[in-house]
């Protein structure tokens, strides 16, 4: 009963409202019939207070005719067409910028969104006005573009002034220029008058193509030049800025090329700046992804720079950096300082200090491998042979020192000497079949050095004696025997390094000796190595 009464009341008020609305519309139509007659279909558009003068001036909907040429509803199609036809046969931009043209469309109703929401219509018109006022030529002039053939010709002739003139124009398309970028910027980095101008070319490339990339060794070469000319801070800033210019990182280059550039960069940085500045440079190199092995190059360059100092100062500075980064690369340079000491007893003590520190961060036999290779570099092969025969150092510890031979001027000579040592001490030990056979009676090594080496190295492999127990060991017995698997791996490393050095010096006879050495010890020679040897003829 209650629900029915609510529905009935709703229908009553609804019908009453409809009757009132019809009476109001009838009264409104009779009052407006004389002033502004309209059709019955437009009653919904008129309100009860529409007789005010302000609303009478508004255009009525039937006066809108159709869309005009600019996509808006025209209030007076004939007026709009006549006005536009009187503008003459001028271009569209000229008519668009005339004040009379804008007045024609003052009363238009736009059929799209507001120009403010479109975000750019007004700015485009302003830029067109600026271009026309400055009388600039919007069309591209072919003479202002430099072709890739002209750039290649300038680089082939090593004509930097001509290249500067060409690069001042618009460059070729990114797709056309991409395969030639590394050669172009390699030439720019070396031959540009200043590092600032070279950086400007990097910025111009970035403005043209943010996804372009330059090899890391070229950027490191630019940083090296900046450090040499302007200081360590300038080189550090260049490495940061170049990484931020582009969104794409260059593919990983050859590790050897990047490491050599990094070593040269750190060497120059240690000569031009302080240790703190070099550490900041190293932080940028590592965090920006220029190299994953930059710590080793940093410590090696630091040790080389400290070689000018006395042992105590050099070891203190190097060990501080080594402890900071947890790496002992460059210890061979500190060993060289100790070996150059004329006092043999003091020299042995300094070597013991190095061994005691390095065994905290790496295997103690790695330092012994560095010591053996250092004797080879100093042309003291007899001492290296005595040390290698007394201690069977595993082949894996020699791989890193062998890589240093490839960076030396006499590397080919030293790798051949080392290969002969391996034949005598390692393969000879393997062929003898035992370790208890008699060795050479006389030793070229300092007895004090042997005592220091034995005391530092044996503590890592033997247990401490119990209380009241005498520590006994056989002095003739080696701490470890020859590992055939590691010996074969070392032979492969010698083979690769030997052939690489022979190729760099174009020494076919040395490559032939390498082949003979491999055949003697039954080391496999791949087809690729055979082709490389035959190409040296």
| Residue pair 76/55 in contact by the 8 Å Cβ criterion | no
Report helix, strand or coil for 72. strand
pLDDT at 39 over 60: no
Q: Round the CA-based radius of gyration of the chain to a whole number and report it.
A: 43
Residue keyed to tokens 């490839």: 406
b/e per residue 87-107 (b: at least 16 CB within 10 A): eeeeeeeeeeeeeeeeebbee
Cα–chain center distance at 280 = 17
| Residue pair 301/263 in contact by the 8 Å Cβ criterion | yes
List the chain domain ranges: 1-60, 64-135, 148-390, 391-433+483-537
Question: Distance (Å, rounded) from C-alpha 273 to C-alpha 348?
Answer: 33
Residue 322: count other Cβ atoms within 10 Å of its Cβ: 24
Q: What is the pLDDT of residue 2?
A: 42
Confidence category of residue 129, pLDDT binned at 50, 70, 90: low
Confidence category of residue 463, pLDDT binned at 50, 70, 90: very low
pTM for the full predicted model: 0.64
Q: What is the pLDDT of residue 453?
A: 84
DSSP 298-329: HHHHHHHHHTTS-HHHHHHHHHHHHHHHT--T
Question: Distance (Å, rounded) from C-alpha 205 to C-alpha 194?
Answer: 17
Q: What is the pLDDT of residue 409?
A: 81
Confidence category of residue 442, pLDDT binned at 50, 70, 90: low
Report the interhelical angle of 294-306 vs 275-287 (nearest 10°): 160
> What average pLDDT score do residues 51-65 get?
46
| Nearest one of 311, 320, 308 to 278, comparing CA atoms | 320
Question: Distance (Å, rounded) from C-alpha 318 to C-alpha 341?
Answer: 18
Average predicted confidence (pLDDT) for the chain: 75
Confidence category of residue 498, pLDDT binned at 50, 70, 90: very high
Q: What is the pLDDT of residues 18-32, one digit of tens each?
A: 454 454 444 444 444
């Amino acid at each position: 009963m209650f629900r029915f009464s609510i529905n009935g009341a709703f229908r009553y008020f609804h019908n009453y409202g409809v009757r009132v609305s019809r009476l109001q519309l009838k009264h409104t139509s009779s009052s407006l019939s004389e002033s502004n007659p309209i059709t019955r279909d437009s009653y919904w558009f008129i309100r009860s207070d529409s007789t005010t003068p302000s609303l009478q001036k508004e255009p009525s909907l039937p006066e809108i005719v159709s869309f005009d040429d600019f996509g808006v509803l025209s209030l007076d199609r004939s007026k709009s067409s006549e006005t536009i036809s009187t503008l003459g046969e001028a271009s569209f931009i000229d008519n668009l910028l005339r004040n009379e043209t804008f007045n024609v469309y003052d009363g238009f109703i736009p059929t799209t969104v507001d120009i403010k929401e479109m975000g750019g219509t007004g700015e485009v018109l302003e830029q067109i006005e600026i271009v026309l006022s400055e009388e600039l030529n919007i069309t591209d002039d072919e003479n202002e573009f430099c072709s890739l053939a002209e750039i290649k010709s300038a680089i082939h002739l090593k004509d930097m002034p001509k290249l500067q003139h060409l690069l001042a124009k618009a460059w070729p398309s990114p797709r056309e220029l991409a395969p030639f970028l590394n050669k172009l910027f390699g030439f720019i980095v070396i031959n540009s008058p200043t590092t600032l101008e070279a950086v400007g070319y990097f910025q111009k490339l970035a403005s043209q193509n943010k996804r372009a990339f330059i090899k890391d060794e070229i950027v490191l070469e630019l940083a090296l030049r900046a450090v040499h000319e302007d200081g360590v801070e300038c080189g550090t800033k260049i490495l940061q800025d170049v990484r931020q210019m582009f969104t794409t990182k260059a593919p990983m280059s050859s590790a050897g090329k990047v490491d050599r550039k990094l070593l040269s960069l750190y060497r120059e940085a240690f000569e031009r700046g302080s240790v703190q500045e070099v550490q900041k440079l190293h932080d940028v190199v590592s965090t920006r992804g220029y190299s994953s092995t930059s710590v080793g190059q940093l410590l090696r360059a630091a040790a080389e720079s400290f070689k000018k100092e006395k042992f105590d100062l050099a070891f203190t500075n190097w060990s501080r950096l080594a402890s900071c980064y947890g790496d002992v690369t460059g210890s061979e340079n500190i060993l060289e300082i100790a070996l150059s000491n004329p006092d043999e007893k003091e020299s042995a003590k300094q070597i013991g200090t190095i061994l005691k520190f390095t065994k905290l961060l790496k295997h103690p036999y790695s330092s012994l491998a560095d010591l053996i290779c250092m004797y080879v570099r100093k042309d003291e092969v007899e001492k290296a042979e005595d040390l290698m025969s007394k201690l069977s150092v595993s082949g894996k510890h020699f791989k890193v020192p062998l890589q240093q031979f490839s960076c030396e001027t006499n590397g080919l000579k030293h790798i051949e000497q080392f290969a002969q040592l391996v034949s005598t001490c390692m393969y000879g030990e393997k062929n003898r079949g035992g370790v208890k056979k008699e060795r050479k009676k006389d030793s070229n090594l300092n007895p004090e050095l042997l005592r220091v080496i034995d005391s530092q190295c044996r503590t890592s492999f033997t247990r401490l004696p119990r209380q009241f127990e005498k520590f006994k060991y056989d002095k003739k017995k080696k701490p470890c025997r020859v590992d055939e698997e590691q010996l074969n791996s070392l032979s492969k490393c010698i083979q690769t390094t030997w052939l690489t050095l022979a190729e760099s010096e174009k020494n076919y006879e040395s490559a032939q000796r390498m082949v003979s050495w491999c055949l003697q010890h039954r080391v496999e020679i791949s087809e690729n190595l055979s082709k490389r040897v035959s190409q040296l003829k």
